[in-house]
Amino acid sequence: MTDAPTDDQTVLPLKADSDVVRVRQLVRDVATAVRLSLVDQTKLVTAASELARNTLVYGGGGEARVRRLTQGTSVGVEVVFSDDGPGIADTDLALTDGWTSGNGLGLGLSGTRRLVDDFHLDTAPGAGTTVTIAKWRR
Amino acid sequence: MERIPILRIGEMLLVSIQVDLQDHTALMLQDDLSNRIVETGAKGVLIDISALEIVDSFIGRMISTTAAVSRVLDAETVVVGMQPAVAITLVELGLTLSGVRTALDVDRGLRMLRDSVEFPVVERGVTPDDGRAD
Amino acid sequence: MSPQPDHQWIDLLRENEDEVIAAWTAAAEASLAGRMTGSDLANDIREIYNGLLAGEGAETDIRSSVYDGLRALLNDLGRTRARQGFSPTEAATSIFALKQVVLDLLGRRGDLAAYRAFANLSIIVDDLGLYMLETYANARETVIAQQAETLLELSTPVVKLWDNIVALPLVGTLDSARTQVVMEALLQALVDTGSEHAIIDITGVPAVDTQVAQHLLKTVQAARLLGAECIVSGIRPQIAQTVVALGIEFGDIHTKANLSDAMLLAMRRSGLDIVGRS
Ligand SMILES: Nc1ncnc2c1ncn2[C@@H]1O[C@H](COP(=O)(O)OP(=O)(O)O)[C@@H](O)[C@H]1O
Ligand SMILES: [Mg+2]
């Protein structure tokens, strides 16, 4: 996935509520451009919305990078969320349905993993959090 | 900061969400709705989300909370017009919005509310000069 | 006009035009086992013949522009044969048959120079046959992909049973991918027809696995979010046992023994009753 030939990527900051909306719109545009099905677009945008909010709320802000993926004849969309926040100590716990350290529904990470094809969580206490997701055209 | 307008139709409140909701806007809507229910004594709330292209866990929670709060305030909430792709995604995300009533469109939502809401002042069939007997 | 010896195959063809075409058509017809009418085939063969002669025998490279028309013709033929369901051998034999025809002709003449000419013709014919096979293979792939898509569409026949009620009769093995397509179609149909009731009839489904059962459950939940209720009918005893053995929470799903019971329930929920005339 990471060594796939890449097209240009777009970086959006995640500093405020309105940035989450902007990320959703950009992801929708790219997903439409690579012709994901409507359901797949919706799944990817919803996942992006969840992760963007996490970056903002728990990571204290960061950025989202959106790019088109090409691998052989397959095309897809990748979104990377990164922050320099506190990181996650227990990733298994964080990925459990319903677990939240705040007052969310605890479905952001676990649900997102179900919505996308590729999901990668890279985090350590004090080292920030990076979540990479991708969805491929069927 | 934009606010979502709340319309009053008789004993019902109608909210039609036409914009991509920011978290803050969603929370304001939740507050505004509770206030309007109390102000107007509304018995039903109709939330039209047919224009929403996604519902994530934040908006999902806002909808569930609104339904629960209105119930405490003696009003029924019906969510109408969810798109199939949004419904499929919500279920996959892990949200089924149990406790929230749903309808295909505004018409059916209104009918559903009328059927379940009691009208304490005028009851059907008891108006003396109704003319037609049925 | 005195053509080079290695061009002589073109004279050979010209001098024996009628015989060559007749024998060629007959050979091709035999290999296609009567699945094409002789006159259609004769027309095809005559066009190939004319295309071949367009090169005046001076050109052996079939990619050359003098053979543009011929290649276009073979493209068409390859595609057509693929769609008509002929095998690659059957498709290519209609080209290769020319070699046997000419060889027979030469055998009767016993002309050595002509045999050399034949070698050249042979190269060209082989190339043409292969060229057509390539098109054939491409077309075949497209046909297969189209058929797969059509099958998937055919297998999602959402029908409107009554005002407010749609049904999805499922037949055959449900895999995860097909279930997903089918369920999306059902949800869309609920919205498009404004129906509040869906019946998913699985009488024709031999077995379900965990994933498929899970998809069914998710569909019921998604339909509910839209404002519609699902009834699953026709669950075979084996499937019921699987569902229980797998520990799948089916409690939330309304089930009925058969489609007509499901239909009655859906009608009743829509406020309709079926009353017999007294
Ligand atoms: N970017 C992040 N930085 C630090 N912690 C995070 C981050 N993202 C998620 N978490 C932790 O993982 C938990 C689960 O996240 P999530 O599944 O999105 O549920 P919720 O947002 O409802 O709490 C959060 O409550 C938080 O403790
Ligand atoms: Mg979250």
Asked if residue B113 lies in contact with residue B47, where contact means CB atoms within 8 angstroms, the answer is: no
Instruction: Classify residue B61: in a domain, yes or no.
Output: yes
Q: Which atom of ligand 1 is nearest to the CA of A101?
A: 25
Integer Cα distance of B9 and A32 in angstroms = 38
Residue A68 lies in a domain: yes
Instruction: Choose the most confident range, by mean pLDDT, from A57-66, B114-123, C51-60, C66-75.
Output: A57-66
Spatial separation of the C-alpha atoms in residues C90 and C93, rounded to whole Å: 5
Residue with tokens 């339904």, as numbered in its chain: B67
> Higher confidence at residue C274 or residue C165?
C165
For residue A42, tell me if it sits in a domain. Answer: yes
Q: Looking at the structure, tell me whether residues C131 and C60 fall in a common domain.
A: yes
Which positions in chain C touch B97 (Cβ < 8 Å)?
Answer: 225
Min distance C90 CA to chain B CA atoms (Å): 47
CA C20, C25, C26 angle in degrees (round to 5)? 100
**The residue type at C51:** G
Q: What is the pLDDT of residue A124?
A: 96
Average pLDDT over residues C145-166: 77
pLDDT in tens, B38-71: 999 999 999 999 999 999 999 999 999 999 999 9
Instruction: Check residue B9 and report its DSSP letter.
Output: E
Separation CA B25–CA B6 (nearest Å): 13
Domains in chain C: how many in total? 2
Mean pLDDT of chain C: 83
Count of domains in chain A? Answer: 1
- Asked, for residue B131, whether it belongs to a domain, the answer is no
Residues C113 and C212 in one domain: no
- Predicted confidence at residue C5, as pLDDT, reads 52
Q: What is the ipTM score, two decimals?
A: 0.91
CATH number at residue C191: 3.30.750.24
| pLDDT range class, residue C154, cuts 50, 70, 90 | low
Q: Does residue C108 sit in the same domain as residue C204?
A: no
Interface check B49 vs C, CB under 8 A: no
Average pLDDT over residues C255-265: 91
Q: What is the pLDDT of residue C228?
A: 97
The answer on C75 and C29 residing in a single domain is yes
Q: Is residue A32 part of a domain?
A: yes
Provide CB contacts within 8 A for C179, sequence distance 6+: C211, C212, C215, C216
Answer yes or no: is A1 within a domain.
Answer: no
Residue C3, in any domain of the structure: no
Give the CATH number of the domain where residue A75 resides: 3.30.565.10
Domain for residue A107, yes or no? Answer: yes
Q: Is the pLDDT of residue B126 over 50?
A: no
Query: Which of these three, C116, C150, C184, is where a domain ends?
Result: C150
Q: Which residues of B are less than 8 Å from A45 in CB distance?
A: 53-54
CA of C182 vs chain B CAs: smallest distance (Å): 13
For the segment A32-83, what is each residue's pLDDT rounded down to a tens digit?
999 999 999 999 999 999 999 999 999 999 999 999 998 877 899 999 999 9
On whether both C143 and C182 belong to a single domain, the answer is: no
Does A103 or A28 have the greater pLDDT score?
Answer: A28
Q: What is the DSSP letter of C172?
A: S
More confident residue, C87 or A60: A60
Distance (Å, rounded) from C-alpha C38 to C-alpha C12?
Answer: 24
Neighbours of chain B (3+ CB pairs under 8 A): A, C
Query: Based on the domain organization, do C110 and C212 belong to the same domain?
Result: no
Say how far apart CA C276 and CA B57 lie, in whole Å: 50
> Bigger pLDDT: C149 or C225?
C225
The structure's pTM equals 0.72
Antiparallel, parallel or unpaired: β B12-16 and C165-171: unpaired
In-domain check, residue B124: no
**In which domain, by residue range, is B90 found?**
6-118
Q: In what order do the strands lie in the sheet with C229-233?
A: C159-162, C165-171, C197-204, C229-233, C254-256
Interface of B with C in 103-132 (CB under 8 A): 103-105, 108-109
Instruction: Judge whether C278 lies within some domain.
Output: no
Q: Which residues lie across from B8 on neighbouring strands?
A: B13
Q: Which of A55, A58, A101 has most ligand 1 atoms within 8 Å of its beta carbon, as the pocket-test mutant?
A: A58
Residue C57: its pLDDT value, please? 74
Euclidean distance between CA atoms A61 and A63, whole angstroms: 7
Percent of chain A with pLDDT over 90: 88
A129, containing H or E segment: strand A129-136
Instruction: Give the binding-site residues of ligand 1, using a 6 Å CB cut-off.
Output: A 50, 54-55, 58-59, 83, 85-86, 88, 94, 99-102, 104-110, 129
Choose among C83, C88, C11, C107: nearest CA to C53: C11
Per the structure, the complete domain to which residue A46 belongs is given by 6-136
pLDDT tens digits for range B67-108: 999 999 999 999 999 999 999 999 999 999 988 999 999 999
| Distance set, CA C143 to CA C32, C83, C125 (Å) | 20, 7, 26
Beta bridge partners, B6, equal B15
The answer to whether residue A100 neighbours chain B at the CB level (below 8 Å) is no
Neighbours of A18 (CB within 10 A): 12
Place of tokens 């797949």: A40
pLDDT class of C123 with cuts at 50, 70, 90: confident
Amino acid residing at C199: I
| Domain presence at residue B105 | yes
Longest dimension (CA), chain A: 43
State the total domains in chain B: 1
Phi-psi category of C227—alpha, beta or left, where left has phi over 0 and alpha has psi -120 to 50?
Answer: left
Q: Is B91 part of any domain? A: yes
Contacts for C211 with CB less than 8 Å, ≥ 6 apart: C176, C179
DSSP string, A46-97: HHHHHHHHHHHHTSSSEEEEEEEEEETTEEEEEEEEEE-S---S-HHHHTST
Identify the domain containing residue C247 by its residue range: 159-269
Smallest CA-to-CA distance from C184 within B95, B83, B55, B80 is with: B83
Residues C203 and C85 in one domain: no
- C-alpha torsion angle, residues C125, C126, C132, C137 (rounded to 10): 170
Between CA A87 and CA A130 the distance in angstroms is 9
Token pair recorded at residue C220: 């019921």
| CATH number of residue B64's parent domain | 3.30.750.24
Whether the predicted pLDDT of C102 surpasses 60: yes
Percent of chain C with pLDDT over 90: 20
With an 8 Å Cβ cutoff, is B50 touching chain A?
no
Q: Note whether C104 and C187 are same-domain residues.
A: no
Amino acid at B16: S
Please indicate, yes or no, if residue B130 is contained in any of the structural domains.
Answer: no
What pLDDT was estimated at residue A7?
57
One domain for residues C132 and C252: no
> Which strands, in side-by-side order, build the sheet including A6-14?
A6-14, A62-71, A74-83, A129-136, A118-123
**Opening angle at CA A36, ends A32 and A38, nearest 5:** 85
C1 in a domain, yes or no?
no
Residue C143 in any domain: the answer is: yes
> Is the same domain home to C146 and C249?
no
Among B41-50, C35-44, C269-278, the range with the most confident prediction by mean pLDDT is B41-50
| Whether residues C204 and C221 fall in one domain | yes
At residue B134, the pLDDT reads 45
CA distance A126 to chain B (A): 26
Residue C246 inside a domain? The answer is yes
Lowest-confidence pick of A45-54, A62-71, C174-183, C264-273: C174-183
**Which of C98, C123, C150 delimits the end of a domain?**
C150
Spell out a b/e string for C5-43, using b for 16 or more CB atoms within 10 Å of the CB, else e: ebbbbbebbeebeeebbebbbebbbebbeeebeeeebbe
A78 found inside a domain: yes
CATH of the domain at C16: 1.10.490
Window from A86-100, B55-69, B104-118, C171-185 with minimum mean pLDDT: C171-185
* pLDDT over 80 (residue C16): yes
Do C134 and C26 reside in the same domain of the chain? yes
**Contact B96/A at CB under 8 A:** no
